[in-house]
Structure 1
Amino acid sequence: MTITAGVYNDIPSALRIPGVYIEFDDRLANSGVWQTRLLVIGQRLSGGEKDALSVDRVTSGEQADQYYGRGSMLAEMLRAALAVNPYQETMALALDELEAGTAATGSVTVTGSALRAGTLSLYIAGYRVRVGVDAGDNAEAIATAIVAAIGDNDRLPVTAAVDGQDANKVNVTCRWKGETGNDITLTLNAKGERSIDGVTFTVTDMSGGDGNPDLGDAIAVMGDTWYHYIACPFTDTANLDELTPELDRRYGPMVQMGSRAFAAFRGTHSETGTFGSGLNSPHLTVMGTGHAVSPTWLWAATYAMVGAGALTNDPARPLQYLALPGLIGPRKEDLWTKAERNLLLFDGIATFTVADDGTVQINREITTFQTNMAGVASDAYLDIQVPETLERIRYEQISRILSKYPRHKLATDADASLYGAGQPIATPNVIKAELLDLYRDFIQSGWTQDYAGYAESLQANIDPDDPARLNVIDSPKLVGQYRIHAMQTQFRR
């Protein structure tokens, strides 16, 4: 077959100057690594350098403090995430509190006098505050010491003051407005520390926080930048009603930059099941935390970073048993049973377990998808690996086609043997061959299976009404995840 001048990109055909002209074509050299980006959304404090709705790359907890205010929700989310994986590209999107909102409040009331010297361990949103107590200290002195200890830790999400009417009572207030403040726990001796003999502490849980920022503002700033993973601290209905359509849009064929969002919900088993049953997105996963000691925004950030790292490495591999470092789960007596966790997995809620050493681990990382477009119950997108694997397959297909056929002509297969050697012509069979070759790569990577079935399903033809359009249908069979081992042992004697 004859090579013609038309195959070259830069060497002109009308050339009479003597010389050797060699151009380079990088279409066959594309071996780029799949790189992902995590976006952490959260509230800033007024002392930070960055304005609200700014999007910035963050590489350390110290930088997050500087940008968004030390002890802010966003700074602590970033600190927790980067502690898990500092090599993951991490972007932050700052939001201001809702001016019309209210801050959550709670209290600790002290009764009695210390019979011995010791150290009180008060956990606030999972952060341990250690309060020194001397023998003979009365309730007022201990309350004052608690306020001082809280004030000394500028990473805490709360401020504290002795009540103006009751000197034995410490009032605790979230440093920002919004519903998330209600998820702050005030817990004594969460890790089994010894209490103070002779003293009783009565805790009033945080409540009254209301009015979250509007995620619509964050979505507008995101534009069409590809954020593969999103850590979202808000689970109110209004914000999720804005987020989930945006996730669908990004996953769609006209954008093709899908995102998986990670969130967390705190509540009783009944409240969590009811919440999950109202959701239905293949791109949103919500971890039900129960009455965990650590707050929901840290669960969301940690869950997102652990998921991002593992899914980037292998989109088809399950996340079960992966640790969620730094998180403190519920007390042992408050942990959900297997039966309760199983029910939540039918309510669209991801679940966790707590190991004997207190390590929180992913139990099953499902999405909130529960019904298809017809409203019929469906498990098509039950596991997050499904949209993740499809995303990777699509990316590799796009990359292969645009790398090797960026400026090709399109023709039928009928005259394929007559086209000149090296002619930039794509035909249906040529593209099918590329897709079949890619499918072998997918199988080798452990993402798909059944090559013969895929080859039989693959169809391609030039559109009868548009000679510049190639229509293709394929049917990849994804691998599953080894989650359940069911076995019957029929023993003999």
Structure 2
Amino acid sequence: MASANIAFDTIPASIRKPGKYFEFNTRLAVRTLPGNPQRVLAVGQRLPGANQPPLQAVAVFSDEEAARLFGHGSMLHLMARAAIQANPYIQLTLLGVDDAAAGVAATATVTLTGPATAAGALALYIAGVRVDIAIASQATATELATALAAAVNGIPDLPVTATAAAAVVTIKARHKGQAGNDIKLATLVQAGGVTAVVSAMAGGLNDPDLAPALAMVAGNQYEVLVCPFPTQTALTAVRTHLDFVSGALEQRPGVAAAGWPGSLATGTTLAASINSGRIGIAWHRGSQKQPYQIAAGFAAVIASEEDPARPLNTLAINSLDVTASEQRPLRTEQENALYNGLTPIEIGPGDRPQIVRAVTTYTVDPQGVSDISLLDLTTIRTLDYVRKACRERIALRFPRDKLSQRTPPKVRSELLDVLFKLEELEFVEEVDANKAGLIVERDLQSPNQLNAKIPADVVNGLHVFAGRIDLLL
């Protein structure tokens, strides 16, 4: 059957038996925009012998579940804890990798002296977690070292283990790799006659390669990816992955989050080496948390906002620590960070660590010219959603249509409707002014291809307000 304006999918034109035939057409049923769920994938190290095999993604709903699957104190366990604390309703998937075969675990020492001249206490801070032991009067350094090592090993969620030999406690990262060097240690002694000298974690070498893990999930959809290692090697692998899955052919949108607790200079150097409009690095200078915990918290907050155009300014990352006042970046340092691809974290009212402004590491175009087109993380997220909305509308309305002279105007009408609906939600603007630029035309080479040029004036975030106050006497 055929007519000028009606096409049938299941009723053939060759029917001769009399009757009244009806089919159901659901292509016009959906008139709204698609949802925008934000699924998070965290890739990280698992402990040897963990219950969850490597390179097999699994959804988790609590940090205890992550501990059972990947091991207490494992990188993925602590990443899950940070993410869920920052966003309890997160849709979180974890993907474990084994330590590199050539990896070396970071170590540090705590050297004690005694005996104690009075009763007191000693605290060892490990990645912001306090480990306490009581000190009895006349306790020797060897006794204190034994007690401290036992206390450390008595907390299975710590990212380290401890051994004691004479008056020295050796702290060793659970995982092999360079990431262990980022574990912060500090001591507090509250007893006469006792001292504790702690060295920094060092010697960790060779983080595992993330590329095989990312290849395993290249066919899946995750809107936010957590990169555990703030290194050029790891972030380059993530950039390559995102460029592939989010490109014009695969069309699976995604952004990535990383964490940086170090200096502004080294952080901006790292950001410049990546220069990606899909990767953001949260800068939390002086944090006792490890970079992968900062990254997980940042990713969780990104995922909490389903409106892709809405800025993340002032949103708290509840899983982060309150840094010392001398570590908090000055306004000029924050400006420098924002100009160089770092997302500053500041301590807001109520001692809440919060996002200043979420930016990407993209600062220059391929020619090296300064480019603000993908400055804000919201820009690429909005563009991804515009593409999703347009793509789904065309797929729903034209699943098996012919390509004739009638087709381009129909497609253009549907795309224009999508743009107007996007404008209603303040994802894009000036649709009416730009609609002349919406072009749908047949391809000059392929007789089966229809091409479209879709203007998308993305709504910007209100980041700066400037006012002048005139004094009148």
8 A Cα contact 1:328 1:358, kept in partner: no
Rounded Cα–Cα distance in structure 1 between residues aligned with 2:116 and 2:469: 59
3-state SS of 1:27 partner: coil
Q: CA deviation at 1:64?
A: 1.2
Distance 1:66 1:461 in 2: 55
1:196–1:488 CA distance, 2 compared to 1 (3 A): farther
What does residue 100 of structure 1 align with?
102
CA deviation digits over 1:180-237, x for unaligned, max 9? 1011011346xxxx94455433221111111010111112212221221101101222
How does the TM-score come out when normalised to structure 2?
Answer: 0.93
Whether 1:206 and 2:186 are equivalent positions in the alignment is no
Q: Return the alpha-carbon distance in structure 1 between the equivalents of residues 352 and 269 of structure 2.
A: 27
1:468 is aligned to 448
Q: Deviations along 1:325-382, whole A, 9 cap, x unmatched?
A: 1211432222221111211222211110013543211112111001112221111111
Aligned-residue offset at 1:487? 1.9
Select between 13-22 and 361-370 the one with higher mean Cα deviation: 13-22
Q: Is the 8 A contact 1:120 1:132 kept in 2?
A: yes
- Given the two structures, how large is their TM-score scaled by the length of structure 1? 0.90
Q: Hey, what does 1:11 align to over in structure 2?
A: 11
User: Which one of the candidate residues 322, 328, 353 is aligned to 2:315?
Assistant: 322
SS in 2 for 1:40: strand
Secondary structure of the corresponding residue to residue 409 of structure 1: coil
Moved more, 77-86 or 17-26: 17-26
* Matched residue, 2:399: 406
Return closer, same or farther for 1:115/1:24 CA change in 2, 3 Å cut-off: farther
Is residue 2:437 matched to residue 1:457? yes
Q: Distance in 2 between matches of 1:402 and 1:356?
A: 47
The corresponding residue for 1:286 is 281
- 2:35 & 2:88 partners in 1: Cα distance? 18
CA drift of 1:53 comes to 1.1
Asked whether the 8 Å contact 1:5–1:13 carries over to 2, the reply is no
Which residue of structure 2 aligns with residue 171 of structure 1? 170
Mapping 1:180-329, distance limit 5 Å: 180-188=179-187, 195-196=190-191, 199-310=194-305, 313-329=306-322
Alpha-carbon shift at residue 393 of structure 1 (Å): 0.3
Report how far residue 59 of structure 1 moved: 2.0
Unmatched segments (≥5 aa) in structure 1: 414-425
Residues 20/66 of structure 1: CA separation in 2 closer, same or farther (3 Å cut)? farther
Residues 367-408 of structure 1: CA distance to partner in whole angstroms, max 9, x if unpaired? Answer: 100111222111111111011000000000001111011111
Give, in whole Å, the separation in 1 of the partners of 2:440 and 2:253. 25
> Contact 1:291–1:329 (CA<8 Å) still a contact in 2?
no
What RMSD in Å do the two structures reach over aligned CA positions? 2.2
One-letter amino acid matched to 2:56? S
Stretches of structure 2 lacking an aligned partner (at least 5 in a row):
none
Cα offsets for 1:232-259 (capped at 9, x unmatched): 1012222222221221122211111121
The answer for the alignment partner of 2:352 in structure 1 is: 359
Q: How far 1:410 sits from its partner (Å)?
A: 2.1
Provide the residue aligned with 2:74 in structure 1: 72
Taking structure 1 as reference, are residues 47 and 203 closer, same or farther at Cα in structure 2, changes over 3 Å only? Answer: same
In structure 1, what is the Cα distance between the partners aligned to 2:402 and 2:191?
81
Once the 2 structures are TM-superposed, how far is the Cα of residue 24 of structure 1 from its aligned partner?
1.9
Q: Is the 8 A contact 2:227 2:234 kept in 1?
A: no
In 2 relative to 1, CA 343–197 (structure 1 residues): closer, same or farther, beyond 3 Å?
farther
Residue type matched to 1:72 in 2? S
Asked whether the 8 Å contact 2:152–2:162 carries over to 1, the reply is yes
Taking the TM superposition and a 5 Å limit, the aligned residue runs for 1:111-190 are: 111-112=113-114, 114=116, 117-162=119-164, 164=165, 167-188=166-187
Q: Deviations over 1:433-459 (max 9, x none)?
A: 212211111111111111222212212
Cα separation, 1, equivalents of 2:265 and 2:259? 15
43-52 or 102-111: bigger deviation: 102-111
What is the letter of the counterpart of residue 71 of structure 1?
G
Per the TM alignment, residue 161 of structure 1 is displaced from its structure 2 partner at its CA by: 1.4
Q: Is the 8 A contact 2:133 2:147 kept in 1?
A: yes
Asked whether the equivalents of residues 232 and 261 of structure 1 are also in contact (C-alpha less than 8 Å), the reply is yes
Asked whether 1:57 is paired with 2:50, we answer no
Change (3 A) 1:28 1:305: same
Count matched residues. 470
Alignment of 1:28-47 (within 5 A): 28-30=28-30, 32-47=34-49
Query: Quick one: which amino acid aligns to residue 466 of structure 2?
Result: A
- Higher deviation after alignment, 83-92 or 108-117: 108-117
Letter in 2 for 1:445: L
Cα distance between partner residues in 2 of 1:442 and 1:369: 26
User: What secondary structure is seen at the aligned counterpart in 2 of 1:293?
Assistant: coil
Paired residues of 2:58 and 2:95 also in contact (CA < 8 A): yes
